[in-house]
């Protein structure tokens, strides 16, 4: 059986050391790591941004060989920047992902009331939701999200992660996240990035209590259950 | 955008085209009654090339404006504000007066080269996703430089009549061009429009940022180069024959986006039709204005376009509350 996602030798000069990433079946994968550890670079390499970054097969197909319309159904990518310089309505932005999937995506991210507003006039959080809706509308086999929960209020962070759980029932979702607890609660699998390479990869429960988080992030669980800095 | 709206725009442009050929009607009708052959010769040799040039030059400016706006992700970019038209004018003047090549082909090649250099310079100066201020400042600098060099080239020209000779052309004029000259502007212009319209999909996705456009599988470097070359070819060829005409490339895409809902690539085809209609209307205005003499069309578009640009600036200021 072909894996839903099979990436071999992903590399970007100076940013990502040769890396393999395989997801045999549907999964919600949390990508965590300190600033500059290579999360965005790994997402770029998977999305084919910034040159050929290695071999990527999505459901057995190489997305680079596909024309844009079929490629959109294979992979969707949300960049970390939420800047949109162009004056477009939310509805137009989401439809650029896919016209067919836009209605459902707009509803899922609570944008029905904002659909005809210009995206450059929304708050950062609302703009984030509109851009996430664009990626979700593509209804793609592989969904790559760079910090999707950034700028969202706590309720929307939870709603979004629930939605991603739902999406990941049949697809592979890779989301770079900073909130370790949120990642652990919602993801099937965590990948810890450090210095441009995968430092640890496994089930959240095992990883969060282990030495990898302590070593890579320099934080540990305090007595109150929150994260505290490791004392030298 | 609905096909019906596009058809309506096309019908309006065609109607204006017909009006441009037929008006003023009384003189033409009298002439046709008196001397059939002369009447038709006037239609064929004078009015048809003029109407065709207005339609195609306006359409090229509209389509190029929409494409350049999408390329820079900035709704205030246009061939004239970015220095492309001035660059083309400089190229044509250097070719004609310093190098002494005056065939339409040589002029067109010179103008295309000038436009290409101006656009590449702008990309290098302002960067691909320039802030409005940076883009307009860089465009202003390129326009000023090209304008100064154009004057210098005319001053250095061996012909003592160079200034007088080039004046009407530099102000932008559609008058007294032959059908062959019209074809030299129209064919590259039409080709550029068709090819730009075909790039609407990638240009739409560019509005979401380069990373997303790349994730859709578009080669951004190649896309940028294609837009720059097509705009330079279309605008350059038109400038070579008709001189520099301003503001149509800025105004037409803005009107077009009222119809298309803001997606930058989708605005290219309607912007072409609106640009053609605008320049045909401006040309009709030059003929029908009761001044007793014909105004240069570049003056008319500037007289109409500059207040629109001012309104745009004020509108932006009010919106930002400053």
* Domain extents in chain B: 3-320
Contacts of A81 in chain B (CB under 8 A): 209, 211
pLDDT in tens, B11-47: 787 877 777 777 777 777 777 777 777 767 777 777 8
Place B289 in a pLDDT band, splitting at 50, 70 and 90. low
Identify whether A173 is part of a domain: yes
Higher pLDDT, B175 or A158: A158
- CA A127, CA A105: separation in Å to the nearest integer? 14
Contacts of B261 in chain A (CB under 8 A): 88-89, 91-92
pLDDT in tens, A184-198: 999 999 999 998 889
pTM score of the predicted model? 0.82
Higher pLDDT, A132 or B37: A132
Higher pLDDT, A24 or A50: A24
Supply the pLDDT for residue B130: 65
- CA A200, CA B132: separation in Å to the nearest integer? 45
Order of strands across the sheet that contains A16-23: A16-23, A5-12, A55-58
- Report the residue of B210, B216, B258, B261 to disrupt the A interface, i.e. the one with the largest count of A CBs within 10 Å: B216
Residue B103 distance to chain A (closest CA, Å): 42
- Report the residue of A66, A85, A146, A174 to disrupt the B interface, i.e. the one with the largest count of B CBs within 10 Å: A85
Instruction: Find the domain containing A187 and state its range.
Output: 5-81+139-229
Whether residue B132 is predicted with pLDDT greater than 70 in this model: the reply is no
Place A144 in a pLDDT band, splitting at 50, 70 and 90. very high
Supply the pLDDT for residue B321: 47
- Binding-site residues on chain B for chain A (CB distance < 8 A): 73-75, 129, 201-202, 204-205, 207-209, 211-212, 214-218, 261-264
Contacts of A44 in chain B (CB under 8 A): 211
Residue A57: give its domain's CATH number: 3.40.50.300
What is the number of structural domains in chain A? Answer: 1
Whether residue A181 is predicted with pLDDT greater than 50 in this model: the reply is yes
Helix then strand then coil, % of chain B, to nearest 5 = 80, 0, 20
Contacts of B214 in chain A (CB under 8 A): 47-50
Per the CB < 8 Å rule, is B216 touching A66?
Answer: no
Map tokens 């442009």 to a residue: B13
Whether residue A75 is predicted with pLDDT greater than 60 in this model: the reply is yes
Identify whether A168 is part of a domain: yes
- CA B105, CA B114: separation in Å to the nearest integer? 14
Identify whether A199 is part of a domain: yes
- When CB atoms are compared, the residue of B73, B202, B263 closest to A85 is B73
Domain B3-320, what architecture? Orthogonal Bundle (1.10)
Whether residue B240 is predicted with pLDDT greater than 60 in this model: the reply is yes
| Helix, strand or coil, per DSSP, at residue A87 | coil
Arithmetic mean of pLDDT, B54-76: 88
Identify whether A225 is part of a domain: yes
Identify whether A190 is part of a domain: yes
Percent of chain B with pLDDT over 90: 12
pLDDT in tens, B146-155: 889 988 888 8
């Amino acid at each position: 059986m072909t894996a839903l996602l099979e990436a071999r030798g992903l590399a970007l000069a100076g940013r990502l050391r040769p890396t393999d990433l395989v997801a045999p079946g549907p999964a919600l994968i949390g990508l965590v790591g300190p600033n500059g550890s290579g999360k965005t670079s790994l997402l770029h390499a998977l999305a084919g941004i910034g040159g050929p970054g290695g071999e990527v097969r999505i459901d057995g197909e190489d997305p680079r060989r596909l024309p844009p319309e079929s490629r959109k159904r294979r992979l969707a990518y949300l960049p970390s920047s939420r800047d949109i310089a162009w004056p477009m309505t939310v509805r137009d932005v989401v439809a650029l992902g896919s016209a067919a999937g836009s209605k459902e995506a707009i509803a899922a991210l609570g944008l029905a009331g904002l659909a005809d507003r210009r995206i450059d006039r929304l708050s950062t959080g609302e703009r984030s939701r509109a851009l996430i809706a664009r990626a979700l509308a593509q209804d793609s086999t592989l969904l790559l999200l760079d910090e999707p929960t950034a700028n969202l209020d706590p309720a929307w962070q939870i709603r979004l992660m629930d939605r991603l759980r739902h999406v990941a029932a049949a697809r592979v979702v890779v989301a770079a996240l900073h909130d370790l607890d949120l990642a652990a609660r919602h993801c099937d699998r965590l990948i810890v990035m450090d210095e441009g390479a995968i430092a640890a990869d496994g089930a959240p429960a095992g990883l969060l209590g282990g030495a990898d988080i302590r070593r890579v992030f320099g934080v540990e669980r305090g007595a109150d259950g929150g994260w505290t800095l490791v004392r030298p | 955008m609905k096909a019906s709206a596009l058809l309506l725009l096309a019908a309006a442009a065609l109607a204006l085209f017909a009006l441009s050929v037929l008006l003023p009607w009384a003189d033409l009708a009298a002439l046709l009654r008196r001397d059939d052959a002369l009447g038709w010769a006037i239609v064929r040799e004078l009015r048809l090339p003029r109407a065709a040039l207005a339609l195609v030059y306006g359409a090229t400016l509209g389509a190029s404006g929409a494409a350049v706006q999408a390329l820079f992700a900035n709704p205030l970019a246009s061939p004239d504000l970015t220095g492309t038209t001035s660059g083309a004018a400089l190229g044509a003047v250097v070719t004609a007066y310093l190098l002494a090549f005056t065939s339409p082909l040589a002029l067109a090649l010179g103008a295309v080269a000038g436009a290409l250099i101006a656009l590449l310079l702008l990309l290098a100066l302002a960067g691909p996703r320039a802030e409005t201020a940076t883009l307009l400042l860089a465009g202003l600098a390129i326009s000023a430089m090209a304008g100064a060099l154009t004057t210098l080239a005319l001053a250095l020209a061996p012909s003592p009549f160079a200034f007088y000779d080039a004046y009407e052309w530099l102000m932008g004029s559609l008058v007294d061009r032959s059908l062959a000259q019209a074809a030299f502007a129209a064919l590259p212009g039409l080709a550029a429009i068709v090819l730009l319209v075909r790039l609407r999909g990638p240009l739409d996705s560019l509005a979401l940022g380069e990373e997303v456009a790349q994730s859709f599988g578009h080669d951004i470097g190649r896309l940028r180069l294609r837009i720059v070359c097509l705009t330079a070819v279309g605008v350059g060829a038109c400038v070579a024959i008709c001189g520099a005409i301003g503001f149509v490339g800025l105004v037409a895409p803005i009107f077009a986006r009222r119809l298309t809902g803001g997606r930058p690539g989708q605005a290219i085809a309607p912007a072409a039709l609106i640009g053609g209609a605008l320049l045909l209307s401006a040309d009709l205005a030059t003929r029908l204005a009761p001044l007793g003499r014909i105004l240069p069309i570049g003056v008319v578009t500037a007289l109409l376009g500059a207040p629109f640009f001012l309104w745009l600036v004020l509108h932006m200021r009010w919106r930002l509350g400053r």
